[in-house]
A and B are shown apart, each in its own frame.
Chain A
Amino acid sequence: MKADPRNVLTGANYLDGNHASAEGAIAAGCKFFAGYPITPSTEIAERFARRIPLLGGVFIQMEDELASMNAILGASWGGLKSMTCTSGPGFSLMMENFGLGIMLETPTVLVNVQRGGPSTGLPTLPGQADMMQARWGSHGDYEVIALAPDSPQESFELTIHAFNLSEKYRMPVLVMTDECVGHMTEKVIIPPAEEIELVERKYTDKKPGEAWPYESTNGDIAPMLPVGKGYKFHVTGLTHDYRGYPVINAEAQKLKVKHLVDKINKNVDDIIWIEEKDTDDAEIVMLSYGISSRVMQPAIARARKEGIKVGQIKMVTVWPFAEKRIAELAGKVKSLIMVEMNYGQVFLEMDRIARGRCKTYLAGHAGGTVHKPEDIYQIIKEAAK
């Protein structure tokens, strides 16, 4: 299905990453936003609040982040595409009900404009240190999808992509941006509506009384049930069976959790999106995501000019992790370097997958600003020795 032209600001716009993300959501057909303001994410909420009433949608400022997350899950079951945005402290508060969204298999989108942490940390300055929280922040066993834009243009595109993945895999999807991208203003080309492909929700074709909300296992995606059309159904955060009713035993648990994990693991080839450059003859491969993948470019260019064979992978999807490809490279290259604005989070995943087959390096940073290309260059030199 194509986007509705009424929702799309086609043309060359000059927008910051947050405004671009809001436009992406609107273009994707999102009609419900519930959130609680927090720097540096608030511009997403502001733009949505200004724009969506004119397009027949709803914006609610909630009492807190717990309620925000619940509201967007409810709106999604009510039939609307929904989203919220937040930053570090709010992300922590949303984690419990993010898990509820996973368990209820509810399509929705959460944008985390990361700032420096822990705790209230650096409200107005960037960080990329919620990456492991994105992966494991809620309790229980599950898989996630997390995307990382490096610019306002990608904030627009990846927010749409997040909605598409959320509908396709019937789950909450994370957009893990950061203060630098969120508050950076650049040209954003918004294509005509007919060029924006949207994934629409699959609803059951069975009759009321014959359909259940969780009629699939082993990672197959079950259609949802619509509301207001005579379907009576129940969903719960308790481990449940195909009917959506609690079943508290090991057998039901295995079926459910296996399903939640399989949904992603059986579809990694469809979900994972990485952009490779110069990896064919590379002795060193740089891995990064979001703003850091952009800031490392001058360092790579400098090293390549000096004859160091450096390749790179930009991870558009950080989760699920591009395990297969990284494992392949680890058996081929001399070193892998992870560039990220934390002291080693996604690095751990890279290092685990390398299994000692090549050297691994971390170009880490505490946050508050982005890496200096010079510092990244020094690590490339070290790895090239």
Chain B
Amino acid sequence: MAVTEIRITGFGGQGVILCGYIIGKAASIFNDQHSTLTQSFGPEARGSACSAQVIISGERVLYPYVTAPDILIAMSKDGYLTHKDKIAEDCIIVYDKDLVKLEKHGPKVKTYGVPATRIAEELGRKIVLNIVMLGFFGAVSEILPREALRKAVETSVPSGTEGLNLKAFDKGFEYGLSLKKETVATA
């Protein structure tokens, strides 16, 4: 079964690690796959560009680190610039439109932008930006069932915030679905 490497990048405090945790948990606990999450530790994880890496596979993950991600989720400019060149040839880049300005990529790279910060602000809490991104990623990448991701969100966020976070997830997911529909329509 195929192996999918995912890198999530942003700045410390954005919920980059939680985002990776939820993706990994969705795969391992709610979708009967194997997943391994690793993350950047140390000063770089506190304030400046940081990243989390998830490998999802049908079999046990043996080499734990991501080498050339199939999916790059970029929540900050610095994070994007740090990792934009170390990606798979046919990588899917999922990014926050308002925070990241895309540069030129190879012909096989697919890019999907979402105004995640704005959507989060409309929900009244900018802090759910990462969950909006997660929902969006779920819709455009189609690597995990929506329900698995939702369950992982519900069981990973602080208690009392499940409603808000699921709303953020759904908003991001719906945005992704409509963007995909548009892309198909124009193609």
> With a CB–CB cut-off of 8 A, which chain B residues contact A295?
62-64
> With a CB–CB cut-off of 8 A, which chain B residues contact A187?
28-29, 34-35
Q: Is the CB of B28 within 8 A of A298?
A: no
Interface status of A74 (Cβ within 8 A of chain B) = no
Q: Which of A124, A185, A294 has the most B CB atoms < 10 Å from its CB?
A: A185
The residue of chain A having its C-beta at the shortest distance from the C-beta of B33 within the complex is: A187
Known: A12-B29, A124-B42. A186 touches B35 (CB 8 A): yes
Closest Cβ of chain A to B152, distance in Å, is 8
> With a CB–CB cut-off of 8 A, which chain B residues contact A291?
64
Interface status of A297 (Cβ within 8 A of chain B) = yes
Q: Is the CB of B62 within 8 A of A294?
A: yes
CA distance A370 to B36 in the complex (A): 15
> With a CB–CB cut-off of 8 A, which chain B residues contact A184?
36-38, 64
Q: Is the CB of B37 within 8 A of A370?
A: no
> With a CB–CB cut-off of 8 A, which chain B residues contact A294?
62, 64
Known: A14-B21, A14-B28, A14-B29. A183 touches B41 (CB 8 A): yes
Q: Mark A35-46, 1 if CB is under 8 A from B, else 0.
A: 000011000000
Interface status of A290 (Cβ within 8 A of chain B) = no
Interface status of B24 (Cβ within 8 A of chain A) = yes
Q: Is the CB of A186 within 8 A of B41?
A: no
A interface, size bucket: 20 to 34
Closest Cβ of chain B to A129, distance in Å, is 19
Closest Cβ of chain A to B118, distance in Å, is 30
Interface status of A378 (Cβ within 8 A of chain B) = no
Q: Mark B33-51, 1 if CB is under 8 A from A, else 0.
A: 0111111011000000000
Q: Is the CB of A298 within 8 A of B64?
A: no
CA distance A12 to B65 in the complex (A): 23
Interface status of A180 (Cβ within 8 A of chain B) = yes
Give the A-B contact count at a CB cut-off of 8 A: 55
Q: Is the CB of B29 within 8 A of A185?
A: no
Cβ 8 A contact of B41, one of A14, A40, A297, A370: A40
Interface status of B25 (Cβ within 8 A of chain A) = yes
> With a CB–CB cut-off of 8 A, which chain B residues contact A123?
42
CA distance A88 to B41 in the complex (A): 17
CA distance A294 to B36 in the complex (A): 13
Q: Is the CB of A185 within 8 A of B62?
A: no
Q: Is the CB of B63 within 8 A of A186?
A: no
Interface status of A369 (Cβ within 8 A of chain B) = yes
Interface status of A246 (Cβ within 8 A of chain B) = no
Q: Which of B28, B37, B62 has the most A CB atoms < 10 Å from its CB?
A: B62
Q: Mark A8-43, 1 if CB is under 8 A from B, else 0.
A: 000011101000000000000000000000011000
Q: Is the CB of B42 within 8 A of A186?
A: no
Q: Which of A184, A186, A294, A373 has the most B CB atoms < 10 Å from its CB?
A: A186
> With a CB–CB cut-off of 8 A, which chain A residues contact B34?
186-187
Cβ 8 A contact of A39, one of B38, B39, B41, B62: B41
Closest Cβ of chain B to A189, distance in Å, is 10
Within 8 A of A (CB), among B42-90: 42, 61-65
> With a CB–CB cut-off of 8 A, which chain A residues contact B36?
184-186
Closest Cβ of chain A to B96, distance in Å, is 24
Q: Is the CB of B25 within 8 A of A14?
A: yes
CA distance A316 to B42 in the complex (A): 29
Closest Cβ of chain B to A365, distance in Å, is 13
> With a CB–CB cut-off of 8 A, which chain A residues contact B28?
12, 14, 186-187
CA distance A323 to B88 in the complex (A): 45
CB pairs A–B below 8 angstroms (22 shown): A12-B29, A14-B21, A14-B25, A14-B29, A16-B37, A39-B41, A39-B42, A40-B41, A180-B64, A183-B41, A184-B36, A184-B38, A185-B21, A186-B28, A186-B37, A187-B28, A187-B34, A291-B64, A297-B62, A298-B62, A370-B63, A373-B62
Chain B residues with CB under 8 Å of chain A are 21, 24-25, 28-29, 34-39, 41-42, 61-65
Chain A residues with CB under 8 Å of chain B are 12-14, 16, 39-40, 123-124, 180, 183-187, 291, 294-295, 297-298, 369-370, 373
Identify 6 new A-B residue pairs, CB closer than 8 A, beyond the known A39-B42, A184-B37. Answer: A180-B38, A183-B38, A184-B36, A185-B36, A186-B61, A187-B28
Please name the 7 residue pairs, one residue from A and one from B, whose CB atoms are nearest each other, closest first: A185-B37, A124-B42, A187-B28, A124-B41, A14-B25, A297-B62, A12-B29
